[in-house]
Amino acid sequence: MDSTIFNRRTLLGSGAFVGLGALLAACGQQANNEAVAVASAVPSETASASAAASDAASASATPSPVITRGYSGGSKAPDGEYRKADWQGPAQNVPKPPVPEEGYREKSISGLEKTLRAWILHENYSIQTGDYTETLKFLSPSFTSEIDFYKKISSLYQRGGWVVAGTHNFIANGAPWSEGGETYIWRAYRQWTYAMYVEPDGSWENHENSEDNNNMWDIKLRHNGDRWLVESTTKAEN
C-alpha cells in the first residue's frame, strides 16, 4: 500500500467543488463561478449525505405559505445554463461530474483519494437531480444507511419534490491510516450549510449546520480487489 502522506488540509472534494459557497453548490464546470460547502441532512450516524440531520439544530415542516413547484430562478433555463435549486423549483441543467481520475481503482493511497473525490462530486450531483445511478457504484453494499438515503432522495424527486442546497465537501485532516488488510480510514472535516427538502405538496423541512466546529468524520473505505468502496462514515470522537 502506498504510504504517501498528504497535506493536512487536502481538499477531498477538489475539482468541481473547491470550498465554501454562500448557499448552494454547483457541480462540474459550475464550480468555476460558485464553490460550495453544504451537505444533505437526515437523521443518521453517518457523515455523508445521510448524516446532516444529526448535526442540525433547526427543522421546519408544512410552513405557510405552501411552495408551488415551478422553475428555479423563476423561469426555464436555456439549454446548458445551470441554475441552482431554490424555493421555486429544483436545479436546472446540473452538469454531470467528470469521469473519475485515472488510477482511481488502484490499491494505493492515491487511488483512495481519487475515489473519495469522485464519490463526493457524484453525491453533490445526485442530491441536485435525484439520480444516484453512478454514485451507488462508489458504495459498499454493506453501507445500507447511505443506500437507504439515496433511495429516499430519488423517491422525493420521482414524486415531484426536490432538494434546495444539500451538497457538501470534505477537507482531509492528516493522512489515512490502515485498519489492517484492505481497509483504510481517512478523517476529514465536513463542510456544509443547510439542506431543504421540498415535498410535492409544497410542505418542506429544513436542516441547518449548527455544529460548524464539530464536523470531523472518519470515512472508511475498503479495496475489494477491483476498486475502493466507501463502507461507512462515522462521527469522530472529540
Determine the pLDDT at residue 65. 52
**Angle (CA) 37 43 49, round 5°:** 35
- List pLDDT tens digits, range 171-225: 999 999 998 778 999 999 999 999 999 999 989 999 888 877 778 999 999 999 9
- List pLDDT tens digits, range 36-54: 222 333 333 344 444 443 4
Domain ranges of the chain: 28-41+54-235
Determine the pLDDT at residue 69. 84
Q: Are 221 and 183 in contact (CB under 8 A)?
A: yes
Determine the pLDDT at residue 165. 95
Position 113 pLDDT exceeds 80: yes
The top-level CATH class assigned to 28-41+54-235 is alpha beta
Q: Are 12 and 188 in contact (CB under 8 A)?
A: yes
Mean pLDDT score of the chain: 78
Q: Are 56 and 41 in contact (CB under 8 A)?
A: yes
Q: Are 119 and 27 in contact (CB under 8 A)?
A: no
